[in-house]
Structure 1
């Protein structure tokens, strides 16, 4: 299915679902089309997120979305700088054509001040946004609900690797897949009892998908968005692959000391997650070349191992 056909389907089901919710949806338009398709149901200030690449059932997707809506809604109610669930519809996923949809506030993204092509300016912006994640973590630490630990890793990455074993991809050798499955076994043990291996780890509610990368800049300030991987875990999981400047900005903003050893393990886990994402290539062939550089980087790392275990 091409990007265009994914987008066409997303617009169709988002529009129909929105109208069932009492929205007008007279002029729907696609804002984004990669792993999810985001559809603005203009003229209403509502954006529908339509998952377009997933290996899970609509029921499992809805369970994840309920956690996301609960956490993002709790933050929005507290006045946190986040894109919240739309107040115009109930805070519940909506099923449409075997897909589970969520409805969010539409926010106006501000201009990029002409620096979008300047790599240094982009890096500076990302570092600043990573520093802001320290305040987000302080807010998330107070979330009163129950969440699974590192659920986007275990069992999600295991399911992706199972799919890859059944339908191998050109980007992975048999040796790569054997290594990935061995690393996943390490992650299962780690997630099963993380404090036993990292006693000083700060376990709390997390964004789950590198919040510094998931920021929408508006005229009134930056807003964190896309909490679909919300989970409980160490703050280091939210700080993977941000680089030394990003870590320094986070610590200087009061995020507390980052455990470099745990960060290294979490970065290896993040790369393994990317390896698992190759299972989506049959649905989106252009994804393979996009992920290949991270897979190449993963190959250069020592395989994941539990601390103190050879």
Structure 2
């Protein structure tokens, strides 16, 4: 039976509940919250607790199985990693120093609190050029001592989302399901453990990485660029962070990596990470009932995926 999609009024009500929970939690922590403002509202509702210099990120659309204890563990990993980077002088959007550095539960939501930064709206993003910043980030993260799961953006969401799509494929054609099922069969042994990856690519190192396209998660502030959104921080090959940037982005990254003392990208691994990213994209169709606008956003990527080499050429 098809899963019912949230309606515009459902989405508006969910956002209102998230804002109310963030506001209530902030006030309970002693913050002055007179005029909360929504800064972003997709997978998370991001709320500035004005006039306090604090922003709350409230996840509202999650893959199945990634709520409760797994969600709070994920949030705690992010807070710990970003705080570690901030202590070493890396320009990041830091956990707010005005509240305890831990996830907060309120009214059915689990949320994290961050410093508010002034965005420089005169500066436009340049995802290719910012690949150089990813190399600097990898150099800094290389020594991070915290415990991280291997390629958790894939392992924590793809299997459960694919299982949902088997029951409710939505806009996916039978040929799409057959292909993604076959690709996952090939790639799952490589992506699901450090040992499996090492067996396929014995000469390619892994390390702590951002996990969610750092070139796309650079915030241009009035005081310079900041790295942000480390929700998917994990252990993996640096190629995961460079997925979909193409040859030009890879060249920019490799030039910066040479300066930063980071290894260059491995072309075969990059092709596999592109394929893994596409599998994750297809699996994201399982979240369309929670975020109906995803169907339109993912459509062009779905068409691209249909033309790409099967499983990144891995056999």
Instruction: Say yes or no: TM over 0.5.
Output: yes
Match of 1:119 in 2: none
1:58 is aligned to 68
Indicate the larger mover: 78-87 or 183-192: 183-192
Cα distance, 1:305 vs structure 2:
6.5
The reply on whether 1:18 has 2:19 as its aligned counterpart is no
Q: Which residue of 1 aligns with 2:100?
A: 90
Contact 2:131 2:249 in 1 (8 A): yes
Matched, 1:283 2:290: yes
RMSD of aligned Cα (Å): 1.5
Query: In 2, are the aligned partners of 1:50 and 1:102 still within 8 Å (CA)?
Result: yes
C-alpha distance after superposition, 1:101-147 (max 9, x if no partner): 1111110011224xx5xxxxx5xx22221111111000000101111
- The Cα of 1:6 is off from its aligned counterpart by 3.2
Q: Structure 1: where are the runs of 5+ without partners?
A: 117-121
DSSP 3-state at the match of 2:12: helix
Name the CA distance, whole Å, in 1 between partners of 2:94 and 2:204: 29
Cα shift at 1:61: 1.1
Q: How far is the alpha carbon of 1:306 from its aligned partner?
A: 7.5
- Is 1:252 the counterpart of 2:255? The answer is yes
Cα distance in 2 for residues equivalent to 1:87 and 1:262: 39
Higher relative contact order (CA 8 A, sep 6+): 2
Residue by residue, what CA displacement relative to the aligned partner does 1:223-243 show, whole Å, maximum 9, x if unpaired?
Answer: 010000111000000000112
- Specify the SS of the correspondent of 1:196: helix
Q: Are the aligned partners of 1:58 and 1:98 in contact in 2 as well (CA < 8 Å)?
A: no
Aligned to 1:27, the other structure's residue is in SS state strand
Partner of 1:134: 135
State how far apart, in whole Å, the 2-side matches of 1:57 and 1:133 are: 29
Of 195, 198, 202 in structure 2, the residue corresponding to residue 199 of structure 1 is 202
Deviations 1:195-225 (A, max 9, x none): 1111122200000011000010012210010
- Structure 1 38/183 Cα, relative in aligned 2: closer, same or farther at 3 Å? same
Distance in 1, Cα, partners of 2:164 & 2:73: 21
| TM-score, normalisation: structure 1 | 0.92
Q: Cα offset for 1:175?
A: 2.5
